[in-house]
Amino acid sequence: MRLKTSGDTSNMTLPQDSERGINALGSAEKGKATVKAVDPKLLQSDMLPVSSPAPFRLPKRRGLSWVLFVTFSVLCVLVLPVRRSNIFSPASHLDFSGVEPVVDILAGMGFTGNGRTNDVLWDKYSLIIKGQRVFIHSGEFHTFRLPVPGLWLDILQKVKAAGFNAISVYSHMALINPSPGVVDFNDYRALEPLYEAAKQTGIWIVFRPGPYINAETTAGGIAHWVTSEVAGELRTNATDWRAAWQDYLQGVITETVPYQVTQGGPVIAIQIDNEYPQEPATHAEYFRELETVYWNSSIVVPLTTNDPGEDQAWINGTGAVDIYGLDSYPQRFDCSHPDVWNPVVTNYYSHHESVNPGQPWYFPEFQGGAFDAWGPTAPGYDQCRILTGANFENVFNLNLLASNAKLINYYMLYGGTSWGALPFPGVYTSYDYGSAIAENRELTVKYPELKRQGLFLRSSPDFYKTDWVGNSTGGMVSVSNPAAFVTLLRNPDSAASFYIVRQENSTTTDVTTFKLNVTTSAGNFEVPRFISGITLGGRQSKIIVTDYSFGSSSKVLYSTAQVLFAGQIGGRDVLFLYGDPTSESEAALTLNGTPRIQGTGVSLVSSNGVTSVTFLPGIQGLITIWDSSEQLVLYSDADTAGTFWSPEISANDSVEFAKYWQFGTNSSILVGGPYLVRNATITGSTLALRGDLNDSVQLTVIAPDDVKTVTWNGIPISADVAAVSNLTTQGGFVAQLKPSSTVLGFAPPALTNWRYANSLPEILSGFSDANWILANHTTTNIPFKPYYGDGRVLYGCDYGYCENIVLWRGHFNATENTQSVNFSINGGEAFAATVWVNDVFLNTSYGNSTNNRNILEETDDEFHFPPGSLLYGRENIITILQDNMGLNQSGSVIDEEKSPRGVRGFMLNTGEFGEWKVQGKLGGYTNYLDKVRGVLNEGGLYGERMGWHLPGFDTSSWALRDLSEGLPNATAGVGFFVTTFNLSIPDGFDVPMSFTFDDTFQPYRSQLYVNGWMMGKRVSNLGPQYQFPVQQGILDYNGMNTVAVALWAMEPEAVTPTLQLTIEGVYEGGVGGIETNNPSWSPEGRS
């Protein structure tokens, strides 16, 4: 942390060092809190792992006796004849994870901290969490895009199963702080259930509360009321902006303080705002104001931020954070040509070394997919999943590793749904993002590659501390073929080396073969030694390891095969390698014990205690290379490796951080076959596996040899003895798993018996807008002023209506000279606005987007009055039905978040308007009725105001009319269609479902409500989305469900939408216990 001094300019009182918790271990030198006095050579690999599910723990003592004990212990270790990696190394299996004084010892070893806690420290390599060196391997997850708290555990279990140990999480100010003075952490807005689920799963959290978060969400997450009530410039040190975010930030602090790592919780860092330049000075002062709020609170974990480009922001100077991070999206966000790549970024390491070499290299956001835009040429998320697919993950993620990054977060790992008014105008409802976990929570084709990488990182503690030695361009690495590019990382303590190889031309699809000169404990030589070379397919990267340790005492001298798993299971050292089935690979190992099984399809040559293994082409499936009482070495093709899981065997709950790898446990097993393995426990001689199945599979288990019984979701499984004998003679288990016949029996109900009612009475004669808001403001805090009119400001947010559909009614007297009216209407990209005079349709103004090109977020049109449409000498009424597509995010123009949604210009060709009235969501943002679904769920349609979209509203008196018939008489207008259906899905099943509209281009828009939640906005004239996943918890799996469609026909012609419920998959398993919270209709406030 950069210490703030009294010389910094600020209009806020900053805390003194003593108030900020800098203790006797810290010093305020050169702007950082540092710790000194102990030779850092005493700490080498620093992982300090636990060796068993119920680890031995040293007594928690302080004082002289403890110091003498530790000093004596360290001296004893120092004099032992051990390998360099053994002093405080993974192989030592000393468990200091729960011993408080170790933190103090580590704090004296030259690590940097923020002066407020020693539980999160760092050096130039990585974070040190409670004394453990940790590689942060993280994925982005936004709980507000999955508004069913019971399902957050599902996502976290899928994150953990892929080998990740952390998530990055935004919170959303607009949802939590919906109106001035209101802070709401109920229901899906809550943080506590997320934090509890993270503790239950063993997942760290980098919390990113903004208040600005970007995230392709309306106003970048800033509360909508702020955009009209705050006059000062947002995201600066403007006093009214500072006052506006105080309640929200104090709220998230209160919720987060007890869940910091210092108190046994998952939160290890907090991000300040999001992707923001440090200049001008008002930006820097704004950051310092945010930081000061944290410093004046009980938040003690480090503060971070994310630089959107290599701008060196927030490293030094006013507003600087503790740990700098760089965001990077090398493929950008157009998925139209998914086979066309941008090359890898080659200067990550040099940028890091030039700007913050003393800190660990942190990527708060690295591309894990891409958002998709409105428009008929928008490619859709399936194409984004190809662009950023497994090959991209392999090449570009390993390129990050080659830059020596040790804190990496992939954005997104699970995208979810931008339901209601969550999206900013550039995106549609789905926020699938082409992620490894799809919007409907299914695992995609991208997931196995992330899992292979995740399990390697979890298995490789020597990788957590590496020096960047050089690459093949700079001459530090010698490679036989210049078409291959190699970067060398080496652990300075154990000498384990990691040669990360890719194609010199990272976009090529050519195959490259080469040999590599490596440095090992056995000398320098060229690998491979027995086969023709290392083969790189097009768009492929590999990690060649040397002097790589696995288990308690085993060593890989080198391997051109890839490491999936390395560790100890049941007292045996276990190594799982994999490779391409079409090419050879090679490894040199120290093999111990007497082999009871030796694999076929391989060649073994032993010399001087090292066995070289050649893996021949054509290996498919899993084979055993070496099976002794001391070691088990396995090999498979890459696809088979991707079907394996390594669930951790956690300590009992009495152990602090029981579910966290390196802290509560270093014990795990191997499980192959199932769609998902969520967790595993061992009680006595029984291994209990829990997970999901969608098909019959062969279950393969490598577990401690004292396991005698295996259960799957509570049901005992019979072993296939013959199959086990081909796998291993110790600790193996093979069986057939089959889902129940129920899996095949699900069929979605048809959506029939629709009821219909008109939802646009506002254009009918006799409709009274007496209770609507009088739109008579002549000033606005929105900086984008009206273009023309009579001085009145017709912006929805100025009257409390910031989101979804807003209606305007303008009153005027007409004469025979009244011929037309001009309106400039602003609704955001892809909006629409339909205009009537009295009950006569005039026209529809269309905003536009074509894959984020040809963007039109406001229109300026002349509307002509047809003959007979006006009442001369009497009052006439213009009705404007306008869709608000969300507020803009920050951009190149100051205060773009204060988007002028509404009517920016109004003018009759002759005469003046009288009253203007406006109506949006019932109650606006101050008195909206639905406190569960929240401020962004509803809009101002008559049907919404009456609650027609809610379960329990009585539609029995409505007309029977099928949705496919559209509106009566092919008119332009809005109608509500409502039906119900029953589901009866047994417990223990996860059944992703979607509501699927017709995939046609027609002039209609529709809003989809499921049990009262607006789960989709279908824009048929633009596209691309027509399928809308809806989660269990919004869907009632065992009861009646209400679906409503607000159909807006934008032209006086027939539209014929269709809608069906579709099942995307059936999975036996799931997390279970999902509660519904779908408040039903009440007449209160709806009259």
User: What residues act catalytically?
Assistant: 275, 365
**Omega of the bond prior to 1052 within 30 degrees of 0, cis?**
no
> Coil, helix or strand for 248?
helix
User: Within its chain, how far is the Cα of 750 from the centroid?
Assistant: 34
Q: From residue 862, how far is each of 682, 819, 820, 865, 993 by CA, in Å?
A: 74, 10, 7, 10, 44
The Cα–Cα gap between 560 and 126 comes to 26
Residue 380: half-sphere exposure toward Cβ, Cα within 13 Å: 10
Q: Are 576 and 606 in contact (CB under 8 A)?
A: no
User: Within its chain, how far is the Cα of 483 from the centroid?
Assistant: 35
Phi, psi of 201 (to 5 degrees): -95, -25
Which residue bears the tokens 């984004």?
Answer: 384
The Cα–Cα gap between 617 and 611 comes to 19
Strand order across the beta sheet in which 541-550 lies: 467-471, 484-490, 497-503, 541-550, 554-559, 585-589, 610-615, 602-607
**Omega of the bond prior to 1024 within 30 degrees of 0, cis?**
yes
Q: Are 729 and 596 in contact (CB under 8 A)?
A: yes
The Cα–Cα gap between 243 and 246 comes to 5
Q: From residue 916, how far is each of 808, 813, 862 by CA, in Å?
A: 7, 13, 19
Q: From residue 868, how far is each of 191, 816, 865, 969, 1050 by CA, in Å?
A: 58, 11, 8, 20, 21
Q: What is the dihedral of CA 994, 995, 997, 999, to 10 degrees?
A: 0
DSSP state of 2: P
Token pair in block for residue 443: 């695992």
Which residue bears the tokens 């090292």?
Answer: 610
Q: Are 197 and 167 in contact (CB under 8 A)?
A: no
DSSP state of 15: P
The Cα–Cα gap between 391 and 446 comes to 9
The Cα–Cα gap between 1083 and 943 comes to 13
Q: Are 364 and 306 in contact (CB under 8 A)?
A: yes
Based on C-alpha coordinates, what's the Rg of the chain? 31
Token pair in block for residue 987: 């417990």
Burial bucket for residue 781 (CB in 10 Å: 0-12, 13-18, 19+): middle
> Coil, helix or strand for 548?
strand
Burial bucket for residue 962 (CB in 10 Å: 0-12, 13-18, 19+): middle
Closest CA to 672 of 630, 714, 635: 635
The Cα–Cα gap between 380 and 670 comes to 36
DSSP assignment string, 759-809 = --GGGSTT---TTSEE------S-SS--SBSSS--EEGGGGT--SEEEEEE
The Cα–Cα gap between 288 and 291 comes to 5
DSSP state of 219: G
Closest CA to 266 of 168, 413, 349: 168
